[in-house]
A and B are shown apart, each in its own frame.
Chain A
Amino acid sequence: MEKKKTFVEDIERTLYDIKNEDYAVYKTQQGLTEKIIRDISREKHDPEWMLAFRLKALDVYNHTPMPTWGPDLSELNMDEIVTYVKPKGTMTGNWKEVPTEIKETFDRLGIPAAEKTSLAGVGAQYDSEVVYHSIKEDLVKQGVVYTDMESALIEHEDLVKEYFMKLVPPKDHKFVALHGAVWSGGSFVYVPEGVHVDIPLQSYFRLNSPGAGQFEHTLIILEKNSSLHFIEGCSAPKYNVTNLHAGCVELYVKEGARLRYSTIENWSRNMMNLNTKRALVEKDGIIEWVSGSFGSHISMLYPCSILHGEHARCEFTGVTFAARGQHLDTGATVIHAAPYTSSNISTRSISKDGGIVVYRGAVKVTPNAHHVKSSVNCESLMLDDESRSDTLPVMDIMGDEVDIGHEAKIGRISDEAIFYLMSRGISEDEAKAMIVRGFVEPIAKELPLEYAVEMNNLVNIELEGTMG
C-alpha cells in the first residue's frame, strides 16, 4: 500500500504579493553598459571615487565568468534587468512624508508597528532607494549611526571609503562585481566602542518594480566591546519576469564586540537571490547569524565568517524551505584564521512539492590556527519523493590541534515517531505537526519575535490520510 504523505502548506504569500503600480520617478534602461553606470552615479550624486569604483567593478563583471557550480542561472538575462529604479519621494525620517502607496506597503508588512514596539531604529528601502530611516534619539547621543548608504557616503565619507567593499571585493565573483557597479540603497551602521544597542535595528527591503534588480549594500561597523542586533527583511510581489537581488553585506566585528545578524528572506518566486554576506571578526568577537530562506525562485546564499582574531566565534543558525519551483542553494562558510577560534553551524532544510534544497558549506582552518573547534550539523526533511535534498560540505584543515566535526542527516517523518505519539493519545495529524515543529524548533527559537508570524506559517500544516 502506498504510504500517504504529510501535506505541508506553502507559506502564505498573499500579504507579500500585493503589488503597487510602478510609479518610479527615474529608471535606467534595461541591461548593463558604462553609460548606465554613469547615469546611476550621476543620479545618485556619487563622489568621483565612487564612480571610478563602479566603472572598475563593471570591468571586473565583464571579465568574470558565470559560476560553474550551483543552480542553473541561464534564465537570468542581464540585458533585461533594470538595475536602478528610483521611487517617488525622497529619503525621510518622518513616516508621514513617505508616499502613500509605499507607506501602505510597509504598513501591511507591519514595519512601523514593529518600530513602535520593539525596534531601536528602522530603515525601509523601496526598489533602489531607501525611503525611510529613523533611529532612537538616545542612541544618536551615544554616537550610534544608523542611516542609508547614500547619506553615509556624504556624512561619513571617510568611514565608507575605508570599509566599502574591502571585505567583499568586486573580484570575488560575478554577482558581487555587478553589485559594485550598480549598488544602490542599503543601510550603514556604526556603533562606537563600548556601546551596547539593546534593542534591534531593522532594515526592510521591498522590490516592487517588475524586471528590476535590487543591489542594496549593508555596511556595519562595530567598534571594540560594542554589541548590536540587526534584522534584515526582504520581500517582493510576484511577477512573470525575472527579478534579481544581488545585495552585499559587510560586517566588521572588532575586538570583544558582538553582532547578531538576523534575516528573513521571503522574496517572491520569480526572484534570483544571489546575495553575498561576510563578517570579519576580531579577537574575542562574536558573530551570530540567524538566517531564514523561504522565498525566491533561485537562491545562492552562503554567509561567510572570517575569524581573524584569537578566540573569535561564529554561531550560524539557518532554516531553508523549498517548495515547487524553488531551488534554494544555501549554507555557510567559516574561515578559522586565528588560534582558539570556534564555530558552530546548525541548519535545517525542508523540501516539498518538487522543491530543491541544497546545503553547501565550507570550514577552512589556515595553517597558523591551532586549537580550533568547529561543529557543523545539518538536518534535512523531505516531504515527498518529487523533491530533492543535497548536502555538500567541505572541510579544508591545515594543521593539527583541531577538533572539527560535521554531521548531516536526511530523511522523512518517521512512522515510529508518529506511532509513539499516537500511542500517547495524540492524533495523527497533531503528531505529524509536532514533529515538523520540533524539527524547526532549534531555529525558530532563535528568530526575532517579529517574525514569529512567518515561522507560524511554516508550521501551519494540514494533514491527510492515515498511516501507510
Chain B
Amino acid sequence: MIAEKEILNPIPMRTWRWLGVNAAQLRQELPTMGIYDKKPLIAEIAGVQSIKDQKEIPADIAAYAAKIDCGLSEAMDKTVSAVYNSGYVIEIAANEQCTQPIRLRYVLDESNPALTDEHIIVARENSEATVIISYTGDGEIFHNGRTRVYAEKGAKLHLIKVQLLAGEAQQMDAIGAYAEAGARIDATVAEVGAARSVTSLKINLAGDESTADIKTIYFGDGTRELDMNYIIRQEGKKTDGHMEIQGALLDKSQKIFRGTLDFIRGSKGSVGREAENVVVLSPDVRNRSVPLMLSGEDDVDGHHAVSVGKMDENKLFYLMSRGLSLRDAEKMVIAASFQPALQRIPDEEIKGQIEEYIRRRLANVE
C-alpha cells in the first residue's frame, strides 16, 4: 500500500528546496474504500460501460490507457487501480458527434464518504464529445481519482472537471491525455472546494497538428491548500498547446501551480502558450507560481506569463466611474475573469453552483 509520506506532483525539473515547490507530499493514510452505491451516470448512453473489473476492459482500450502518462505518482497510480470503487470506460464511436455532454455526477455524504474513481475515455477517429465529471458533497469526505483520455486521429474531446467538495474534504485527482495526429483535447477544470486538493493534468500532444487547450479556474478561501501540476508535452510537429489559469486567493489560502510547456526535439512548428493570473485579496495568503518552459527544439514559439496581484486598472477605473466602490469593482472583475472558463461548461446546474459559491464567498470580503 502507499506510504504515508509519498511524494506527489513532482516538478519536471527540480529547483531550490527553500521554495518548497519541488513536490507535494501525502499527509495522511488513505481511508478504506467502501462501496460507492450511488449511480453517477445521469443518462445511460451507448458506449459508456461501468468498469467492475479491470480485466473486463477491452484489450485495445487497455493498451491505449497504458500509453497515457497520468497520475500524482507511480505508487498513487497503482493504488487507484487497486482500490477504486467507481469507474467507467467511455468510448465514443468513430465519426460520432455527441451533441449532449456525457455527465458523471458524484455526490459524497455520510453514507458514501470516500470515493476513488477510475475512468478511461477513448474518442475514436473523428468523433466529438464532451464529458463532464463533477464532485460535490459535505462533511469529512475523501476523493481520489484518475481519468485517462485517448483521442484518436482527428477526434475532439472536451473533458470538464468540477470540484466543489466541502471545506473539510481531502481530494486528489489526476488527468492524463494522449492526442494522435490532428486530435484536439480541451480540458476545463474548476477547483473551488476541499481543504486540500492535489491535482495533476498532463497532456501529450504526440501526433502532428494535435491541439490542447486548458482553461482552469481556482478559488482559495479559508485555509484551503491547492497543489497543481500541469504539463503539456509537445511531441508532434505543428502542435498547439494552450494553458490559461485564472485564480483568486482569499483568507489564509495557499496555492502552488506548476505549469510546464515541454517542447520535445522534433516538435517543429509548434506553438505553446501559458498564462496564469492570480488575484490576491488578503495579506495572509501564500501564492506560489512556477511556470516552466523546457525546449529541445529551436523551431518553436513558446511564451509564458504570470501575473500576481495585479488587476486591470482600466477596468477598475471604468467600473468605479459608474459608482462602484473599489472592492465591488474588484469583485466584479474577478467574477468576470472566471467567465471564459465557466462559459465552456454546457451544464447550467453545475455552472450555477460554481457561480453561487464564488459569489457567496466574495460577498464576505471586506
Whether B315 is near chain A, meaning CB under 8 Å from some CB there, is no
Q: Is A397 within 8 A of B290, CB to CB?
A: no
A399 proximity list for chain B (CB < 8 A)? 280, 283-285
Q: Is A385 within 8 A of B265, CB to CB?
A: yes
Question: Which residues, 284 to 309 on B, are CB-close (under 8 Å) to A?
Answer: 284-309
Q: Is B304 within 8 A of A408, CB to CB?
A: yes
Whether B19 is near chain A, meaning CB under 8 Å from some CB there, is yes
- From known contacts A403-B309, A403-B310, infer whether A394 and B286 are also in contact, taking CB-CB under 8 Å: no
CA distance A408 to B274 in the complex (A): 10
A362 proximity list for chain B (CB < 8 A)? 15-16, 19
Whether B281 is near chain A, meaning CB under 8 Å from some CB there, is yes
Whether A389 is near chain B, meaning CB under 8 Å from some CB there, is yes
A410 touches which of B265, B285, B295, B309 (Cβ 8 Å): B295
Q: Is B13 within 8 A of A392, CB to CB?
A: yes
CA distance A1 to B338 in the complex (A): 44
Q: Is A394 within 8 A of B302, CB to CB?
A: no
Whether A21 is near chain B, meaning CB under 8 Å from some CB there, is no
B55 proximity list for chain A (CB < 8 A)? none
Q: Is A400 within 8 A of B14, CB to CB?
A: no
CA distance A397 to B299 in the complex (A): 34
Min distance, Cβ A41 to any Cβ of chain B, angstroms: 31
Whether A68 is near chain B, meaning CB under 8 Å from some CB there, is yes
Q: Is B283 within 8 A of A401, CB to CB?
A: yes
Q: Is A398 within 8 A of B309, CB to CB?
A: no
B282 proximity list for chain A (CB < 8 A)? 400
Min distance, Cβ B54 to any Cβ of chain A, angstroms: 36
B280 touches which of A367, A384, A400, A406 (Cβ 8 Å): A400
Contact string against B for A residues 398-424, beta-carbon threshold 8 Å, 1 for contact and 0 otherwise:
111111111111111000000000000
Closest to A173 in B: B16
Whether A297 is near chain B, meaning CB under 8 Å from some CB there, is no
CA distance A397 to B293 in the complex (A): 21
A384 proximity list for chain B (CB < 8 A)? 298
Sample of 30 A–B contacts (CB below 8 Å)? A68-B17, A69-B14, A69-B15, A69-B22, A370-B283, A382-B297, A382-B298, A383-B298, A385-B268, A388-B295, A390-B295, A392-B13, A394-B16, A395-B289, A396-B287, A398-B287, A400-B280, A400-B282, A404-B307, A404-B308, A405-B305, A406-B291, A407-B306, A408-B293, A408-B302, A408-B304, A410-B263, A410-B302, A411-B302, A412-B300
Q: Is A380 within 8 A of B309, CB to CB?
A: no
CA distance A405 to B297 in the complex (A): 26
B302 proximity list for chain A (CB < 8 A)? 408-411
B299 touches which of A3, A389, A400, A406 (Cβ 8 Å): A3
CA distance A393 to B290 in the complex (A): 6
Q: Is B298 within 8 A of A387, CB to CB?
A: yes
Whether B21 is near chain A, meaning CB under 8 Å from some CB there, is yes
Q: Is B294 within 8 A of A401, CB to CB?
A: no
Closest to B268 in A: A385
CA distance A134 to B182 in the complex (A): 68
B291 proximity list for chain A (CB < 8 A)? 391, 393, 406, 408
Min distance, Cβ B329 to any Cβ of chain A, angstroms: 16
Whether A56 is near chain B, meaning CB under 8 Å from some CB there, is no
B293 proximity list for chain A (CB < 8 A)? 390-391, 408, 410
9 additional A-B residue pairs with CB within 8 Å, beyond A69-B13, A382-B298, A407-B305: A362-B19, A387-B296, A391-B292, A394-B15, A394-B21, A394-B289, A396-B20, A401-B283, A410-B295
A389 proximity list for chain B (CB < 8 A)? 295
Contact string against B for A residues 351-384, beta-carbon threshold 8 Å, 1 for contact and 0 otherwise:
0000000001010100100100000000010111
CA distance A408 to B292 in the complex (A): 9
CA distance A3 to B268 in the complex (A): 11
B14 proximity list for chain A (CB < 8 A)? 68-70
Min distance, Cβ B84 to any Cβ of chain A, angstroms: 33
A380 proximity list for chain B (CB < 8 A)? 295
Contact string against A for B residues 13-49, beta-carbon threshold 8 Å, 1 for contact and 0 otherwise:
1111101111000000000000000000000000000
> Which of A70, A392, A403, A405: most chain B Cβ within 10 A?
A392
Min distance, Cβ B94 to any Cβ of chain A, angstroms: 35
A residues in contact (CB < 8 Å) with B:
3, 68-70, 360, 362, 364, 367, 370, 380, 382-385, 387-412
B286 touches which of A70, A396, A411 (Cβ 8 Å): A396
A397 proximity list for chain B (CB < 8 A)? 280, 286-289, 308-309
A385 touches which of B17, B283, B296 (Cβ 8 Å): B296
Q: Is A405 within 8 A of B296, CB to CB?
A: no
CA distance A400 to B13 in the complex (A): 28
CA distance A215 to B289 in the complex (A): 35
CA distance A367 to B287 in the complex (A): 11
Q: Is B299 within 8 A of A385, CB to CB?
A: yes
B284 proximity list for chain A (CB < 8 A)? 367, 399
B310 proximity list for chain A (CB < 8 A)? 403-405
B307 touches which of A364, A401, A405, A408 (Cβ 8 Å): A405
Closest to A389 in B: B295
Q: Is A406 within 8 A of B305, CB to CB?
A: yes
> Which of B280, B286, B292, B295: most chain A Cβ within 10 A?
B295
Closest to B308 in A: A404
Q: Is A409 within 8 A of B309, CB to CB?
A: no
B304 touches which of A3, A367, A382, A407 (Cβ 8 Å): A407
CA distance A370 to B282 in the complex (A): 11
A392 proximity list for chain B (CB < 8 A)? 13, 15, 290, 292
CA distance A403 to B288 in the complex (A): 14
Closest to B21 in A: A394
Q: Is A382 within 8 A of B308, CB to CB?
A: no
Q: Is B280 within 8 A of A396, CB to CB?
A: no
CA distance A383 to B282 in the complex (A): 45
Closest to A372 in B: B309
- From known contacts A397-B309, A404-B309, A406-B306, infer whether A412 and B298 are also in contact, taking CB-CB under 8 Å: yes
Min distance, Cβ B266 to any Cβ of chain A, angstroms: 8
Min distance, Cβ B293 to any Cβ of chain A, angstroms: 4
B268 proximity list for chain A (CB < 8 A)? 385
Min distance, Cβ B36 to any Cβ of chain A, angstroms: 38
Min distance, Cβ B24 to any Cβ of chain A, angstroms: 15
Min distance, Cβ B355 to any Cβ of chain A, angstroms: 24
Q: Is B301 within 8 A of A394, CB to CB?
A: no
Q: Is A395 within 8 A of B283, CB to CB?
A: no
Min distance, Cβ B302 to any Cβ of chain A, angstroms: 4
Contact string against A for B residues 243-287, beta-carbon threshold 8 Å, 1 for contact and 0 otherwise:
000000000000000000001011010000000000011111111
Question: Which residues, 127 to 178 on B, are CB-close (under 8 Å) to A?
Answer: none
A390 proximity list for chain B (CB < 8 A)? 13, 292-295
What are the 6 A-B residue pairs with the smallest beta carbon separation, nearest first? A382-B298, A69-B14, A402-B309, A410-B302, A404-B308, A400-B280
Q: Is A395 within 8 A of B300, CB to CB?
A: no
CA distance A382 to B309 in the complex (A): 32
Min distance, Cβ B334 to any Cβ of chain A, angstroms: 13
Q: Is B290 within 8 A of A394, CB to CB?
A: yes
Q: Is A69 within 8 A of B285, CB to CB?
A: no
Q: Is A410 within 8 A of B300, CB to CB?
A: yes
Min distance, Cβ A70 to any Cβ of chain B, angstroms: 8
A400 proximity list for chain B (CB < 8 A)? 280-283, 285, 309
CA distance A3 to B308 in the complex (A): 40
A68 proximity list for chain B (CB < 8 A)? 14, 17
Closest to A5 in B: B298
